[in-house]
Amino acid sequence: PPFASCDERVTDDMINKWHDQSMRLAYSQSDSSRCAYFTICVHNEGSQDKGGFCKACEADAIERIDAIARGQVVLSLDEDLPHRGQAAIFRDKNGALKIETWKTYAGGEAECVLAALAASGMPSYVSPLFIAQDPNFIWPLIADHGSIRAAVEFVAP
């Protein structure tokens, strides 16, 4: 990917601020504002408990953001895994290699979704912590822009 234009490593203050913003939105009585807090993900899709933040998704997002900030990410140029998408290989916080797949079609769509989220006026949805929770969302943005901030500046100058 292009060199990251900034260091977006996640701090405890950023996590707390994102939690606070998301919870305020969740309880604002607007159905469109509840998805960051009332999530359904691969970790809780079979569970009855849909409220709260998924700590596993947050941990994955933090690992992705930290790897990008350290320049320890390699993205494939082509669909290397048939019917699974392109590969993102990066080091986790312990230095072990991880591989994730992301769909090739996701490039332009990721920018369109990011532009819509930026235009929504809800900052918790443009937070790197929110964007990095989905490999199909973050990796196309990183492949094209190098960082989440650069992608946001591209779609919402």
As a whole number of angstroms, the distance between CA 43 and CA 32 comes to 22
As a whole number of angstroms, the distance between CA 65 and CA 69 comes to 6
Could you tell me the sign of the dihedral formed by the alpha carbons of 5, 10, 14, 20, in that order? positive
pLDDT of residue 30: 61
Residues in contact with 157: Cβ distance below 8 Å, sequence separation at least 6, in sequence order:
none
Say what percent of the chain tops pLDDT 70: 78
Q: How confident is the model at residue 24 (pLDDT cuts 50, 70, 90)?
A: confident
Q: Which helix (H) or strand (E) holds 115?
A: helix 106-119
Q: What is the pLDDT of residues 70-125, one digit of tens each?
A: 888 999 887 766 777 889 999 888 889 999 988 866 668 899 999 998 998 877 78
Q: How confident is the model at residue 47 (pLDDT cuts 50, 70, 90)?
A: low
Looking up tokens 């009585």, which residue turns up? Answer: 29
pLDDT at 32 over 60: no
Say what the pTM is: 0.80
